[in-house]
Amino acid sequence: MTEGWMTGGVSSLDIKLEQFGAANEQVSAQLQGIAGLALWLGVGSSTLTGRIQGDKLDLTLLSERDELLRGCVYRREIRVTTQVKGDRLRDGVITHLFRAPAGPACPGIDRCQAVQTFDGTRIDLADAGL
C-alpha cells in the first residue's frame, strides 16, 4: 500500500448533475466546492459532459489548458463511466488520459493513463435540509 493512502477510504464530493436534450439523454456534471476549484485550476473547467443510455452514464472533459512535460505539450482528457441504479452510482471508473500531437517530442504519452474507481449515493438536498 502507498504511504498516506488508505484502501477503502471514503471522501465526499458535491457534484451537480443536470439532464437535458429531447429525451433527457444528455448530462452535465459540475464538480462543486474545493474539488471543483482544484479541477478548474488544473484543466480550465469543472464540468464534464456526456450521455446517459439506459443505466450507463458516460462523461468526458477535455482540458482547456496546455501542459508541458520534457518538451511535450499535451492536454488531459478525463473520462467517467458508471452505472446509475436508483440513487446510487455503481462501478464507477475515472480515467485520466493524455492527448498530444504525434511526433518526436511526445513519444508514447498517448499510452499513459491513470485510473480511479468509485461508488456514490445521491443525496436529496431537500431531505438534507439544504
The domain containing residue 55 runs over which residues? 15-121
Residue pLDDT, tens place only, 68-85 = 888 889 999 999 999 988
Region 83-112 average pLDDT: 86
Alpha helices in 2-46 (DSSP H): 33-43
In a domain, 97, yes or no: yes
In a domain, 49, yes or no: yes
Give how many domains the chain has, as a whole number.
Answer: 1
In a domain, 26, yes or no: yes
- Note whether 77 and 91 are within 8 A (CB): no
In a domain, 4, yes or no: no
In a domain, 6, yes or no: no
In a domain, 108, yes or no: yes
pLDDT above 70: residue 126:
no
Highest mean pLDDT among 4-8, 10-14, 19-23, 26-30: 26-30
Contacts of 56 (CB under 8 A, 6+ apart): 81, 82, 83, 84
Task: Give 110's DSSP letter.
Answer: G
Region 76-101 average pLDDT: 90
Residue pLDDT, tens place only, 52-65 = 999 999 999 999 99
pLDDT above 90: residue 122:
no
Q: Which H or E element spans position 32?
A: none
